[in-house]
Amino acid sequence: MSVRLFSASINGIDAQLIEVEVDSTPGLHAFNIVGLPDKAVQESKERIASAIRTNALIPPSAKHKRIIINLAPADIRKEGPAYDLPIAVGYLLETEQVKFDTSDKVFLGELSLNGAIKPVNGVLSAAILAKNIGFKEIIVPATNAGEASIIEGLKVFGASTITELIDHLSGIKPLKSTKYQAPKTVISEDDGEAFRLIKGQETAKHALMVAAAGGHNILMSGPPGSGKTLLAKALVDLMPNLSFPEAIEVTRIYSSLGLVNGSSLMSNRPFRSPHHTSSAPAMVGGGTNPKPGEISLAHRGILFLDELPEFPRHVLESLREPLEEGLITVSRASGSMQLPAKFTLVAAMNPCPCGNYGELKADCICSPMNVIRYRKKISGPLLDRIDIQINVPRETSSTNQEPMPVKKFNEIREKVASARTIQLARFKNSKIFTNAEISYKNIDKWCQLEPEAEKLLQNAVASRSLSLRAYHKIKKLSRTIADLDQSELIKPNHVAEAISLKINEKLLGENN
């Protein structure tokens, strides 16, 4: 009589329910797996046989039976070693070496040759799926138990060996479930040293504060040694820790790639800094079996692109859709998937190939044509999608400034956190977390300008021939600046500051 168990397949970052059916008939020994398994799943037959034999159980080769394993749905490609455990348990159940109710349990785990259960990827997504469908228990490797216990209302059992699991299922020695622990607010103990030790650059620091408060993209242009990279890395110090819904989103992405450190929920915002030689699939995701790329790994965090013009043009252009939509659709012959990509883009560039264009105390050796060609590597549509564009001048060695006091830095960070709290309250019944995510559909509802402020903005748009996207970007920047001032309405001074942050006369002048 055939038996049926349940497992999960990870597609991108989402899980799909997989039925593991086991049946046997008398005849010459055979052990076959069907249902579009990949090489890793096919090889599980040897791992399962060795693990069962090593733990004093009856292996498939000891019986004169034809054993067939079906992984359904049959049209979905099954990848990875996570099916080892459900297939092994299904075989033991079908041969009556263990008896239990399979209807409310989900199994995931890789088996070693000695029967140890090794960790697998995507356990958090599988736990979310199990909870949503209505399963009561999920049985995973002991190493992954803490990750699965993030989901409330689901019993999580972590097993270290197959013998331990069989004793649990048989009722001989039940395992203790890993209890759900309500998420706690993590208070950062970092004193912002990276931010505090940067001398000068007050304008850039203020721009970073606005970017951190509203999740706005920022481009810094300046000569070598002006501190652009240090400023980008210091932005992490200003940003608040992930909220629980954000942490779930980020942890799912890292879990799908096996990048979760330990077993706890991620609380710090990601900071990704890919090299300029990175390919488009590495940046946006993809491959034969599509996986999340750098923009998804930077979800709810920072994607830092240093030396922006050095990135291949097609790689930069591939960022247009995710910058606008907050997600990326990866299509391949095997299918397509949507991956989250709501990140804060922080980019840094030099004004010209040698880096000294416009400097009073250094000579530029680039021809005017080379300067224009260098700047044209960044397209106008991409620049239009960047909210804040600032110049970062080179500070002189004579700058004698003490590091920012910890008290002042904490005041700045609290101001950013307060602005974020205002935004969370404003967007309470939506899937939006920051002002940068406001779409054109609801911008008039959430970005209300005083009459004088609206007039100032209209004049700026008309005089500079700005696009409608730039108009919306300035309104959202103004909303963030007003939130930092604890103001419900957007005032003229907020709009004026937003215009100065969005429109970089030097950058535009060099591009024309």
Domain that holds residue 445: 438-505
pLDDT at 244 over 90: no
pLDDT at 508 over 90: no
HSE of 472 in the Cβ direction (CA atoms, 13 Å)? 19
Asked if the structure places residue 366 within a domain, the reply is: yes
- Do 327 and 392 reside in the same domain of the chain? yes
Rounded Cα distance between 312 and 321, Å, is: 17
485: confidence class by pLDDT, cuts 50, 70, 90: very high
Asked if the structure places residue 294 within a domain, the reply is: yes
262: confidence class by pLDDT, cuts 50, 70, 90: low
* Vertex 330: Cα angle to 217 and 17 (nearest 5): 115
Rounded Cα distance between 227 and 387, Å, is: 20
Query: What pLDDT sits at residue 511?
Result: 42
Work out the percent of the chain whose per-residue pLDDT is above 90.
Answer: 67
Query: What pLDDT sits at residue 278?
Result: 92
- Do 447 and 362 reside in the same domain of the chain? no
Asked if the structure places residue 187 within a domain, the reply is: no
Asked if the structure places residue 474 within a domain, the reply is: yes
CATH number at residue 500: 1.10.8
Q: Which of 125, 155, 170 is the last residue of a domain?
A: 170
Structure tokens at 183: 């998420």
- Do 22 and 149 reside in the same domain of the chain? yes
Asked if the structure places residue 510 within a domain, the reply is: no
Q: Which tens digit of pLDDT belongs to each residue from 168-184?
A: 999 999 999 988 766 65
**Beta partners for residue 449, in sequence order:** 490
Mean pLDDT value across residues 23-34: 90
- Do 418 and 359 reside in the same domain of the chain? yes
Asked if the structure places residue 512 within a domain, the reply is: no
Query: What pLDDT sits at residue 362?
Result: 81
Structure tokens at 97: 């070496």
- Do 203 and 141 reside in the same domain of the chain? no
- Do 420 and 442 reside in the same domain of the chain? no
Query: What pLDDT sits at residue 512?
Result: 36
Rounded Cα distance between 111 and 448, Å, is: 59
- Do 107 and 204 reside in the same domain of the chain? no
CATH number at residue 129: 3.30.230.10
Structure tokens at 277: 């030689």
CATH number at residue 303: 3.40.50.300
Contact 349, 258 (CB under 8 A): no
Asked if the structure places residue 244 within a domain, the reply is: yes
- Do 289 and 407 reside in the same domain of the chain? yes
Number of domains in the chain: 3
Rounded Cα distance between 290 and 332, Å, is: 8
One-letter amino acid at 434 equals T
Contact 215, 433 (CB under 8 A): yes
- Do 380 and 235 reside in the same domain of the chain? yes
263: confidence class by pLDDT, cuts 50, 70, 90: low
Q: Which of 407, 428, 449 is the last residue of a domain?
A: 428
- Do 378 and 402 reside in the same domain of the chain? yes
Q: Which of 428, 457, 473 is the last residue of a domain?
A: 428
Q: Which tens digit of pLDDT belongs to each residue from 292-340?
A: 999 999 999 999 999 999 999 999 999 999 999 999 988 776 677 889 9
- Do 113 and 248 reside in the same domain of the chain? no
Cβ atoms < 10 Å from Cβ of 434: 21
pLDDT at 82 over 60: yes
Sheet of strand 105-107: strand arrangement: 105-107, 137-141, 155-159
Q: Which tens digit of pLDDT belongs to each residue from 118-162?
A: 999 999 999 999 999 999 999 999 999 989 998 989 999 999 999
Asked if the structure places residue 247 within a domain, the reply is: yes
Query: What pLDDT sits at residue 337?
Result: 84
- Do 229 and 210 reside in the same domain of the chain? yes
What is the helix (H) or strand (E) element at residue 335, kind and residue range? strand 335-340
